Amino acid sequence: MPYEKKRKQIITEKRIHATMKKIMIIDGSPRKNMNTAAMVAAFVEGVREGGGEAKVVRLYDLDYKGCRSCMACQLKGPRANSCRFPDGLTETLKECTEADGLVIASPIYYGEVTAMTRAFWERLTYPWLNYSTAIFKAPMSIPVTFIYTMNGMPSNGEKVRRSSMRSVETMTSVALGHKVEVLMANNTTQVNDYSRYEFPESIIESKKQWRDAHWEEDLAKAREAGKQMVTVGQ
Ligand SMILES: Cc1cc2nc3c(=O)[nH]c(=O)nc-3n(C[C@H](O)[C@H](O)[C@H](O)COP(=O)(O)O)c2cc1C
């Protein structure tokens, strides 16, 4: 390619890259190839289709714990934008504050997100709490989507939201200054080969029927949500 043409191409690519929206996707499932991972992959596809960039972080690959109440984020002086405790989550938390959109995806374990997801959320949000002003506000204003996958039916999913997740969703939404979006995949396939596990035949059959009727639609919704996050900002 002639030098001048190549130069123009590099400049154009750089410009596109500079304006490209970056979406941080936090995957709180321990399993890398099952339901939550598939919903996350579909969301990523949508982000890319919309012209954005997606970074997926699998929390179970990182070495960290929940908030230790070290209170470093509440020290006098310039406010901390993200958690000051140095460990395997530090870089991810920083990247979240620099992102143009945030997705928190998790299986539901005993009516809540996984312990790793909860620990991540504590670390993400506690520096946003300002005791002297009583204001809970993130340094960035970006759209946020929660993705839950679960055995339960949609009505059970709503129950989970009412009993445990709604306050987390609302606090995140208020702090980020955006309405929260929630996607759910219900009655998920829990294992690939049911013949090896102690599941009653009736459950296996009803799960298969549910999956045939809903799974592709769940993935399509995740894909569309990814596209929307970069194109319209939600
Ligand atoms: C420890 C554990 C607890 C679970 N608790 C619930 C629950 O309370 N409600 C529910 O609907 N599903 C529950 N499930 C099922 C998972 O939420 C469901 O299979 C999910 O889609 C798994 O996500 P994954 O495929 O990404 O691992 C539980 C699974 C495990 C392993």
Stated pTM of the model: 0.93
For the chain, the first-to-last Cα distance in angstroms comes to 40
In a domain, 11, yes or no: no
Provide the 3-class DSSP secondary structure of residue 181.
strand
In a domain, 7, yes or no: no
In a domain, 186, yes or no: yes
CA of 110 to the centre of ligand 1 (A): 7
**196-217 b/e (C-beta count within 10 Å ≥ 16 → b):** eeeeeeeebeebeeebeebbee
Q: For ligand 1, atom 27, which residue shows the shortest CA distance?
A: 31
- What is the pLDDT at residue 204? 93
In a domain, 16, yes or no: no
- What is the pLDDT at residue 135? 93
- In this structure, the chain runs to a length of 234
Instruction: Name the residue range of residue 181's domain.
Output: 21-231
Q: For ligand 1, atom 7, which residue shows the shortest CA distance?
A: 110
Q: What are the percentages of helix, strand and coil residues in the chain, rounded to 5? A: 50, 15, 35
Q: State both tokens at 226.
A: 């990814």
Measured from the Cα of 31, ligand 1's closest atom is 27
Provide the 3-class DSSP secondary structure of residue 8.
helix
Nearest to 105 by CA among 22, 20, 42, 197: 42
- What is the pLDDT at residue 81? 82
Measured from the Cα of 189, ligand 1's closest atom is 19
In a domain, 13, yes or no: no
Measured from the Cα of 35, ligand 1's closest atom is 25
Mutate to test the pocket of ligand 1, among 56, 147, 151 (most ligand atoms within 8 A of CB): 151
In a domain, 203, yes or no: yes
Q: For ligand 1, atom 24, which residue shows the shortest CA distance?
A: 35
- What is the pLDDT at residue 11? 62
Provide the 3-class DSSP secondary structure of residue 84.
coil
Q: For ligand 1, atom 23, which residue shows the shortest CA distance?
A: 107
How many domains in the chain? 1
Q: What is the DSSP string of 11-58?
A: HHHHHHHHH--EEEEEE--S-SSSHHHHHHHHHHHHHHHTT-EEEEEE
Measured from the Cα of 150, ligand 1's closest atom is 17
Measured from the Cα of 112, ligand 1's closest atom is 8
**Ligand 1 pocket, residues with Cβ under 6 angstroms:** 29, 31, 34-37, 107-111, 149-152, 156, 188, 190
Measured from the Cα of 156, ligand 1's closest atom is 11
Q: Residue 117 burial (CB < 10 Å; 0-12/13-18/19+)?
A: buried
Q: Residue 71 burial (CB < 10 Å; 0-12/13-18/19+)?
A: exposed
- What is the pLDDT at residue 5? 72
Residue 161: which CATH number? 3.40.50.360
- What is the pLDDT at residue 13? 61
The whole-angstrom separation of Cα 65 and Cα 234 is: 30
CA of 186 to the centre of ligand 1 (A): 10
In a domain, 12, yes or no: no
> Which residues make Cβ contacts (< 8 Å) with residue 188, sequence separation at least 6?
34, 35, 149, 150, 151, 207, 211
Mutate to test the pocket of ligand 1, among 43, 60, 109, 183 (most ligand atoms within 8 A of CB): 109
pLDDT in tens, the chain (234 residues): 666 776 666 666 655 555 799 999 999 999 999 999 999 999 999 999 999 999 999 999 999 999 999 999 999 998 888 999 999 999 999 999 999 999 999 999 999 999 999 999 999 999 999 999 999 999 999 999 999 999 999 999 999 999 999 999 999 999 999 999 999 999 999 999 999 999 999 999 999 999 999 999 999 999 999 999 999 886
In a domain, 134, yes or no: yes
